[in-house]
Structure 1
Amino acid sequence: MLLLIDVGNTTTVVGLWDGDGVVHRWRISTDRERTADESRLLLRSMLAEYPGNVTGGCLSSVVPPRTEAWREAMDVLINGDLVVVGPGTKTGISLKVDNPREVGADRVANAIGAVRLFGPPVIVVDFGTATTVDLVAGVGSYRGGAIAPGLEVSADALVTHASALRQVELIPPRSAVGRSTVEAIQSGLIFGYAGLVDGLVTRIRATIEDDCPAVATGGLAAIVVAHTQSIASIEPDLTLVGLAEIFARNLS
């Protein structure tokens, strides 16, 4: 089995891959103070649920202070090679952007996962702390995309800067026309965010004049996607699929 870890700004996703797909996935908070020893103990407790030989691993991280701690923890538990996604990693796609080093490891993994599952061209929408909308065109060339504040970040900012408003549950209201302040906020957040995503996907599709599929991933995808018109499907394990593909390419 492969141990796959994607360290995000808010959430870290840990997955086990058996060659055919993800056997199990865990979502834990990204604790920036967690040591390598604590990370190792946490991983060991997870792996105890699925006894078996972990023969390799792949790590992506957009939180540099956490990358080394997770690498050290994985090194101890893996009986084989560990690939850390970064400059020089073989990915199978070309980064056609001004500065490839600026592209987050998670966006690279998402792009590779989408190409594996759907083929290019494809658009990837990742709903996380930030929402990213990325285009993989041609024969697997990553062209870049858009970055917007995530849904929860937007909700937090609204409450922080508007003293008369309060936090609301992130669920769709009965109607786009909110009949209370709570419903009005929910309408603006859920339906407004769906409109933002549809607008970005439409504009990005127009750059290649191709009605290519758009696939969503990320912890907040399910909240928004049902209210979009542009996204074909949700793939919760898209990043892990990409990490498994990266691992395979770096052993060949």
Structure 2
Amino acid sequence: MILTVDIGNTTIALALFRCTTKEPIFVEHIESNCSIAVLPYSEWIAETLKKHNVNPTHIQGAVLSSVVPPLTQTLCDAIIKVIGISTYVINARTDAGLTIKNYDVSTLGSDRIVDAVSAMLQWAPPLVVLDLGTATTVSVIDSDGGFIGGLIMPGPTIGIKALSSKTAQLPAIDFKQMAPTNIIGQDTKTCLCNGAIIGTAAAIDGIISRVENELGTPVTVVATGGHCKQILPWCYKQIQYEEHLLLKGLYHIYHNQTQKNC
């Protein structure tokens, strides 16, 4: 069994894979918090494994992607404490099997690398890979399977927080507890919710069209991330949803790099 860890800006995802299945045995989440030390995270990992009746000694490897550098070593240390193995950390220098064209690799997040690799396991390029989380990232894979760049914009939660903190009368809202029923909102909270959800959906539709125009060819669009369930229903473009895209990509890259069998 292989443990995969995705450290995002808002949450950390922990998943376990077996060679005999393409889907994770389980996926659990916890808050990403740089003030939390090794011990609480190790306790969470141990409790999660116990919850799913997994003996830590049966785990042969661990692989991790992180966009929060201060937490990377913390989680690696927590895994050593619980399982006793070192973690394979994906970064810009990892040979993940992705061709990167004319992009400053030193600035490329490991999450975008893993998402791109994972998407190409299931769909043929050209691809647009969306990750709808704290930030909305758009990664473009050309017809040759090369990563050629993309876009990054604030995620809907950041947008709402910025509006509420920088204006006098716009409240903070939790749009995950709201569901738009139509485009035109009839009170301020609904307008904020619609702006966050439908506005992001409209931006995605427009970006996809412009990418297709720039490439001169239609693309397959793949999406993952915590905001997909709210946003994708409002997109006009056809978009493939893969909830565990990054975790599956980590599992694949680990085996390609280590040549280990479960």
Q: Indicate the TM-score class for this superposition, using the shorter chain for normalisation.
A: over 0.9
Query: 1: CA distance between counterparts of 2:105 and 2:198?
Result: 33
Asked if 1:64 corresponds to 2:42, the answer is no
The 8 Å contact of residues 58 and 83 in structure 1, kept in 2 or not, is answered as yes
Q: What does the per-residue CA deviation read over 1:184-229, in whole Å, with 9 as the maximum and x for residues that have no partner?
A: 2222222111111111122122222222211111111111000001
Q: Structure 1 residues 177, 64: CA separation in 2 closer, same or farther (over 3 Å shift)?
A: same
Classify 1:57/1:219 alpha carbon distance in 2 versus 1 (closer, same or farther; 3 Å).
Answer: same
Q: 2: CA distance between counterparts of 1:3 and 1:37?
A: 18
Q: Match for residue 42 of structure 1?
A: 44
Q: Distance in 2 between matches of 1:210 and 1:102?
A: 27
User: Counterparts of 1:93 and 1:174 in 2: how far apart (Å)?
Assistant: 40
What stretches of structure 2 of length at least 5 have no aligned partner? none
Is contact 1:11-1:27 (8 Å) kept? yes
1:201 aligns with 2:203: no
Question: For 1:226, what is the secondary structure of its paired residue?
Answer: helix
> Where in structure 2 are the equivalents of 1:139-178 lying within 5 Å?
139-170=144-175, 171-178=178-185
Alignment of 1:112-127 (within 5 A): 112-127=117-132
1:55–1:79 CA contact under 8 A, matched in 2: no
**Distance of 1:97 and 1:131 partners within structure 2:** 22
Instruction: Give the C-alpha shift of residue 95 in structure 1.
Output: 1.7
Please give the TM-score of this superposition, normalised by the length of structure 2: 0.90
Greater Cα offset, 160-169 or 212-221: 160-169
In 2, are the aligned partners of 1:193 and 1:224 still within 8 Å (CA)?
yes
TM-score by length of 1: 0.93
Q: In 2, Cα distance between the equivalents of 1:138 and 1:91?
A: 18
Q: Which runs of structure 2 are paired with 1:102-121 in the superposition (5 Å)?
A: 102-121=107-126
Match of 1:33 in 2: 35
More deviation, 69-78/88-97: 69-78
Task: Give the whole-Å Cα distance in 1 for the aligned partners of 2:192 and 2:86.
Answer: 48
What is the one-letter code of the residue matched to 2:251? A
- Equivalent residues in 2 for 1:205-244, closer than 5 Å: 205-244=212-251
Deviation at 1:73, TM superposition (A): 1.7
Distance across 2 between alignment mates of 1:45 and 1:212 = 42
Counting aligned pairs with the same residue, the percent is 28
In the aligned structure 2, how far is the partner of 1:226 from the partner of 1:127? 13
Question: Displacement of 1:119 after TM fit?
Answer: 2.8
- Find the partner of 2:59 among 54, 57, 60: 54
Distance in 2, matches of 1:40 and 1:188, equals 39
1:214–1:231 Cα contact (<8 Å) kept: yes
Aligned length in residues: 252
Cα distance change on mapping 1:36 and 1:125 into 2, 3 Å: same
RMSD of aligned C-alpha atoms?
A: 1.7
